[in-house]
Structure 1
């Protein structure tokens, strides 16, 4: 039996950036030829791409942990490290990406649509890139940034124009098999359909897709039976088709009651009130079925439904139904706003945006510094290298972190934390402190490379 999975939790890890290299060029008669350490390579991204040949999320159900490759470290001789390879994961058309809290991150519709689920880390700069007129021979390099770690939920919602809904064994699979070239499994017992089947129908100049949704029963919207798992597959449709069995053998059921039950489940699920409805009275090839159809049709039309009497077995009434659906779908497509050309939205930062914040945490008795640049610089610093620590202190000072700490009331010896609560660097603050490389004079300078004075 085909296994269909339409909701999975995926754990993705982007590649880490490669470390920069601290190297000094050496050759005969030129022992200190200057820094030549190359940059580290970028870590690979984890990218989700829509592929129309993929129809299920089963692959990620069996192996939910995916990781891109790391960038390679830089080398001497100004050789940059190789970038990590991106990990491309194919998903079905109509996949919705959510975070663990249920917030929608992306809705992937259309072949080739992509979404970067996890961003690879930046490669660290080598000491050749860090050298300057003031810092001629840095004895350090920056570390590569770690790649993103994300826990996301993939949820598949079938992309179809028409959704066939109804009780188990109402004849939905039979109907889709004669309207299109789809070949679903068909039998005369409940829950034959365990996965949504999708077919393509051509009616005149209109081509549309039609899906039969696995049988709904009372309580489906609260998780009973198979309904809740597949109700999401009707969300994208333009029209709902109620398939009613006019030849049911169950004494406690009748087509009108079946319709009311399914409508109540759709109402409880929500978000489908604006979709037009069509009622299909199926199995009229059976004498009792035709009699019952004649009996209930006036009542359904009085409620405002368009009613079609069909027989999937005898193939009667199908042409009228297919063209009626085509008209509704054509109107729905025409009513949709035309897609505008891609626009680039520029959101400049506020003039007074310092790029970081400083707050005092009374519970931990520390001053917390949060911001993209300070946190990235901390991640890229090798704290075993005094010169690298001094370079970090210089960068933070130029950014204005020291002035902001003083304005916030920090004093010498107070604790300062840079980074998130889970992964931060904490140190005792010393205003205008000279950190690292004191033995070399100014940070990052090597007097051995100075030209001799005359």
Structure 2
């Protein structure tokens, strides 16, 4: 038997971006042909889309962990990695996406409505894309950015125009079965209906949907019975119909008391006071039910309700009731504000917006917050000194070094960027006096006392280029590693 599930928790993971490749083109008679490492592919994203064929969240109850494909890594010969495939999750119409703390992220109403829940990580750039006039042969590549991780709660709220509310066994399922093509379970015991049933009703040129909301009893709004689980399904209804059993044999039950109890639960749930109400006095085909309906009708009309005597068995009064439903639904639709066209709002950044902020913590450390510096840190391979130097240059150009100094940071202070912590060293001279070293190294990261001056390094490079016949006794021999050094070209 199919189980109805209208609330699930999903754990979504977007794909990670592929790593870039650090590669040098080599061929016969051309040992150094320049960098040719390709870029990594982007990770796949996770999106939710409304599908008319999906009516329950049952699949996610058994499979709550969803992950998109990772991007592939780049390769030599300028070969870029493939992008990861996006994961598209089909959900029912009326699904509400919430964070674990109850914040509404998206309300998916209408077939085709899409919400990107988790974005895939960017692929890292290969060393061919990182080459520039100063760094002609990078010995590093960017790492792929991790994809977003998100835990959300999916809640299904039925999208219906009319909601049938009432006590168990009041005849709601029978009523919806005769005014529409829905075939709900019908039996002579309470709580027969365990899931909301939807039916489409056609009256002349009017078409609307009717929902049978089960499980409403006194205390439903506080968790008693099944009502708390299904009260959410009446939120979107434009019209509410009280279905009252006039032939019940239960002691203490009468139509007025039943309506008062249901109205109390709707009031406690909240947000439904403005919905127009109709009253369907059901089971008037039973003689006692007809007599009771005649007795209570004046009292209900005095309260402002429109009252209809109906019978699902003989179909008495159903035509008048469905026409009244169609009239109220049509009025609600006309009163609804027209749908506004989709607009793209462009909000340019302020002139003085640096794209990051620096916060001084109580423990004397500093935290740098911003999408760009945090992403750069994630994409940096900290096992490669040249990659670390490149990160320092980017942060310096962004203005992080300058703002840290203005915030009062001193050499050796702890600085956090994303999930990384650093001992800030302003003596790194990021972006200043840059002289390329061997691939994968950065001379600025060496100890300052032993770091050769730029002029000394230039003389050393000239010495390595001298022809063999110009060498003098005692001069250092040129090794094969020196000849292949890409920074010498």
Which TM-score band (shorter chain)?
Answer: over 0.9
Match of 2:408 in 1: 409
> How much has 1:304 moved relative to structure 2?
0.2
1:216-250 deviation digits (Å, cap 9, x = unpaired): 10100000000000000000000000000000011
- 2-structure distance, mates of 1:128, 1:2: 55
Q: Give the conservation status (yes or no) of the 8 Å contact 2:143–2:381.
A: yes
Report the Cα distance in structure 1 between the residues aligned to 2:58 and 2:437, rounded to whole angstroms: 60
Q: CA deviation at 1:31?
A: 1.1
Please list the CA deviations of residues 71-99 of structure 1 after superposition, one character each: whole Å capped at 9, or x if unmatched.
00000011110111111111110000000
Aligned to 1:59: 59
Please tell me whether residue 383 in structure 1 is matched to residue 361 in structure 2. no
Whether the 8 Å CA contact 1:390–1:434 is kept in 2: the answer is no
In 2, the alpha carbon distance for the partners of 1:172 and 1:405 equals: 68
Aligned partner of 2:452 in structure 1 is none
Give the 3 Å change call, closer, same or farther, for CA 223–437 of structure 1 in structure 2: farther
CA RMSD of aligned residues (A): 1.7
- Kept in 1: contact 2:436–2:487 (CA 8 A): no
Deviations 1:133-186 (A, max 9, x none): 222111100000000110100000000000000000000000000000000000
TM-score by length of 2: 0.89
Aligned equivalents of 1:60, 1:18: Cα separation in 2 = 28
2:397 is equivalent to residue 398 of structure 1: yes
What SS does the aligned partner of 2:428 have? coil
Aligned partners of 1:308, 1:352: CA distance in 2, in Å?
A: 67
Quote the residue 1:426 is aligned against. 421
TM-score, normalised to structure 1, is 0.96
Give the secondary-structure state (helix, strand or coil) at the position aligned to 1:140. Answer: coil
CA distance in 2, matches of 1:437, 1:261: 82
Matched residue, 1:372: 371
Q: Is the 8 A contact 1:169 1:215 kept in 2?
A: no
Partner of 2:437: 439
In the alignment, the residues of structure 2 paired with residue 126 and residue 437 of structure 1 have an alpha-carbon distance, to the nearest angstrom, of 21
Unpaired runs of 5+ residues, structure 1, are none
Q: Based on CA coordinates, which of the two structures has the bigger radius of gyration?
A: 2
Match of 2:299 in 1: 299
- 2:454 — aligned with what? none
Cα deviation for residue 430 of structure 1 reads 1.0
Cα deviation, residue 307, structure 1: 0.5
Q: Distance in 1 between matches of 2:229 and 2:184?
A: 19
Aligned pair 1:134/2:134, yes or no? yes
Query: Aligned in 2, Cα 1:359/1:156: closer, same or farther, shift over 3 Å?
Result: same
For residue 2 of structure 1, report the CA deviation from its aligned partner. Answer: 3.0
Query: Hey, what's the Cα distance between the residues in 2 that align with 1:181 and 1:451?
Result: 81
- The more displaced of 66-75 and 130-139 is 130-139
Structure 1 residues 25-40: aligned runs within 5 Å: 25-40=25-40
1:5 is aligned to 5
Does residue 354 (structure 1) correspond to residue 354 (structure 2)? The answer is yes
1:78-89 matches, cutoff 5 A: 78-89=78-89
User: Contact conserved, 1:96 with 1:155, CA < 8 A, in 2?
Assistant: yes
SS across alignment from 1:439:
coil
Q: Distance in 2 between matches of 1:432 and 1:207?
A: 75
Alignment coverage as a number of residue pairs: 446
CA contact 1:13–1:68 (8 Å) conserved in 2: yes
Corresponding residue number in structure 2 for 1:244 = 244
> Matches of 1:379 and 1:128 in 2, distance apart?
20
TM-superposed deviation, 1:270: 0.2
Three-state SS of the structure 1 residue aligned to 2:426 is coil
Q: Could you say which residue in structure 2 is the equivalent of 1:115?
A: 115
Distance in 1 (alpha carbons) for counterparts of 2:16 and 2:91: 24
Aligned to 2:106: 106
User: Offset of 1:449 from its aligned partner?
Assistant: 4.9
